[in-house]
């Protein structure tokens, strides 16, 4: 049988060859593009709360690392993308871990299956109670921090007592843990007890701990200020300190001491505590601040004050990141007419000049009365007292007239502004610059798609019959036209 080479020149062969060539070219381009984009590792976070991306603060931490950090994820093999999916959503956990690696060559993420390697996590179980699956261990050298799975999200209850995820704390915990394990020194913060002081919530303690501070308690009625104390934390007492307790605090401060005072006036005076503050040129105002400028309080609540933020090393990062502190029923921090020449007092948070101080706490009106004091008021100040004897001695104190800044619900209502202020204050007291506070993220709102049975039937007909039928008709039309022209 003799082959007819003239058939190679027919339109049918030319069209077929051209189609085959185009298919090969398109496939080749797709393969090349896939390889290029895979190496570029490009991705875009389109979620409204950027739950799949790191904040700039976390990026700065990992980019400035000068030592290797390993993040171990205790995850069952094959479930890497589904970790905590019922609480934070699919891919949230794995994408965030990938972001840490992407932004620093010093960060390495390793998954460990606790079922296949049951003994791996035991070496990090300091308390001996085991580490649950889906937890994270951050390690650098001999130092490590365990983040349990339940700490990476916060559950609250609505008015019908139904649980819901209030916040996602994955980045908050991991970034601060990285900062913790790479810091050479851990400061020791002592909260003062003995006068029934306001306590710190467990979540606030967790944030302070992750910011590289060990938290302990000291009862000044029975003990002196411990030698390892690098900072005192004085919260609202229900009764005044004794003279002996005040002398212990003053002696500590005069020896390069650092302290935070979060106290307010509610009708009970604290003369012994005040004597410590007076030694550094300030005192707690005997009034509650009522804000008169609508721009400086939450609508309808002039005692819920959104203070004006003064420029300072503590507050500038708040302004840059759009954080706003919230102070409820605050007292002013009055500056005394006489203070030591060695003492410098800097304003941090202030009221507007339309604010006034309510001196009669039993008053039934919030409007200004004749006995009320006139603003503006200092709501938080930073004090530095430097004295040179045979060597330089520096005392640093933060005084804020609102212990409400400890409240967890208030802090969540303003996206973490109060606790960021507290962490920044601690860092300033300890002359630190790199410790941060990262606010938790809120989960995406999930909308359930609901359809009637008739709508579901219509969509099924369109997707199963109509669309495929249109595609077949278009193909038949192209075939028919080519057949007539061939």
CA distance linking residue 237 with residue 241, whole number of Å:
8
| Contact partners, residue 402, CB within 8 Å, separation at least 6 | 262, 264, 327, 328, 329, 330, 331, 379, 380
Counting other chains too, the contacts that 145-148 makes at CB distance below 8 Å and 24 or more residues apart are 145/177, 145/180, 145/181, 145/210, 147/173, 147/174, 147/177
Using 50, 70 and 90 to split pLDDT, how confident is the model at 7?
A: low
More confident residue, 338 or 353: 353
pLDDT tens sequence across 137-179: 999 998 999 998 888 888 877 777 788 887 888 888 898 889 8
CA distance linking residue 299 with residue 294, whole number of Å:
7
Number of alpha helices (DSSP H) and beta strands (DSSP E) in the chain? 13, 22
DSSP-assigned beta bridge partners for residue 13 = none
**What is the mean predicted confidence (pLDDT) over 399-413?**
92
DSSP-assigned beta bridge partners for residue 229 = none
The answer to which of 11-15, 137-141, 154-158, 266-270 has the lowest mean pLDDT is 11-15
CA distance linking residue 385 with residue 393, whole number of Å:
8
pLDDT tens sequence across 204-231: 998 888 788 999 999 999 999 999 999 9
Q: Is the pLDDT of residue 252 over 70?
A: yes
CA 224, 228, 233, 236 torsion-angle sign? negative
pLDDT value of position 236: 93
A 10 A CB-CB count for 140 gives: 20
**Of 76-80, 183-187, 307-311, highest mean pLDDT:** 307-311
**What is the mean predicted confidence (pLDDT) over 121-137?**
82
> What is the SS3 assignment for 174?
helix
pLDDT value of position 249: 96
Q: What is the pTM of this model?
A: 0.69
**What is the mean predicted confidence (pLDDT) over 51-56?**
72
Burial per residue of 364-380, b for 16 or more beta-carbon CB atoms within 10 angstroms, e otherwise: eeeebeeebbebbbbbb
């Amino acid at each position: 049988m003799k082959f007819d080479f003239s058939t190679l020149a027919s339109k049918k062969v030319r069209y077929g060859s051209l189609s085959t060539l185009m298919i090969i070219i398109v496939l080749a381009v797709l393969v090349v593009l896939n390889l290029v984009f895979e190496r570029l590792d490009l991705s875009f976070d389109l979620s409204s709360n950027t739950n799949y991306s790191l904040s700039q603060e976390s990026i700065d931490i990992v980019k400035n690392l000068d030592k290797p950090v390993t993040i171990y994820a205790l995850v069952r093999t094959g479930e890497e993308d589904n970790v905590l999916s019922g609480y934070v959503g699919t891919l949230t956990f794995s994408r965030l871990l990938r972001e840490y690696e992407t932004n620093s060559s010093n960060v390495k993420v390793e998954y460990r299956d606790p079922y296949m390697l049951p003994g791996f996590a035991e070496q990090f179980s300091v308390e001996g109670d085991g580490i649950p699956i889906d937890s994270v261990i951050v390690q650098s050298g001999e130092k490590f921090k365990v983040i349990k799975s339940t700490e990476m999200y916060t559950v609250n209850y609505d008015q019908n007592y139904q649980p819901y995820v209030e916040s996602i704390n994955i980045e908050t915990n991991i970034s601060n843990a990285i900062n913790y394990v790479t810091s050479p020194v851990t400061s020791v913060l002592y909260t003062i007890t003995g006068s029934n002081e306001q306590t710190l919530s467990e979540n606030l303690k967790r944030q302070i701990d992750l910011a590289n501070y060990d938290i302990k308690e000291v009862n000044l009625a029975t003990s002196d200020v411990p030698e390892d104390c690098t900072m005192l934390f004085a919260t609202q007492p229900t009764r005044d300190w004794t003279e002996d307790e005040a002398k212990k605090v003053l002696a500590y401060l005069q020896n390069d001491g650092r302290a935070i005072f979060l106290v307010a006036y509610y009708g009970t005076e604290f003369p012994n505590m005040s004597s410590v503050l007076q030694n550094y040129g300030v005192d707690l105002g005997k009034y509650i601040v009522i804000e008169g400028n609508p721009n400086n309080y939450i609508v309808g609540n002039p005692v819920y004050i959104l203070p004006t933020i003064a420029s300072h090393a503590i507050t500038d990062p708040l302004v840059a990141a759009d954080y706003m502190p919230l102070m409820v029923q605050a007292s002013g921090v009055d500056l005394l007419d006489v203070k030591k020449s060695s003492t410098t007092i800097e304003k941090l948070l202030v009221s507007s000049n339309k604010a006034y101080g309510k001196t009669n706490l039993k008053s039934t009106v919030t409007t200004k009365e004749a006995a009320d004091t006139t603003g503006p008021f200092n709501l938080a100040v930073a004090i530095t007292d430097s004295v040179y004897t045979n060597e330089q001695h520096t005392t640093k104190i933060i005084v804020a007239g609102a212990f409400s800044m400890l409240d967890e619900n208030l802090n969540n209502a303003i996206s973490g502004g109060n606790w960021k202020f507290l962490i920044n204050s601690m860092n300033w007291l300890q002359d630190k610059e790199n410790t941060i506070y990262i606010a938790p993220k809120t989960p995406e709102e999930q909308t359930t798609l609901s359809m009637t049975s008739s709508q579901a039937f219509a969509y099924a007909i369109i997707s199963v019959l109509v669309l495929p039928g249109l595609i077949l008709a278009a193909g038949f039309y192209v075939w028919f036209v080519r057949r007539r022209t061939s």
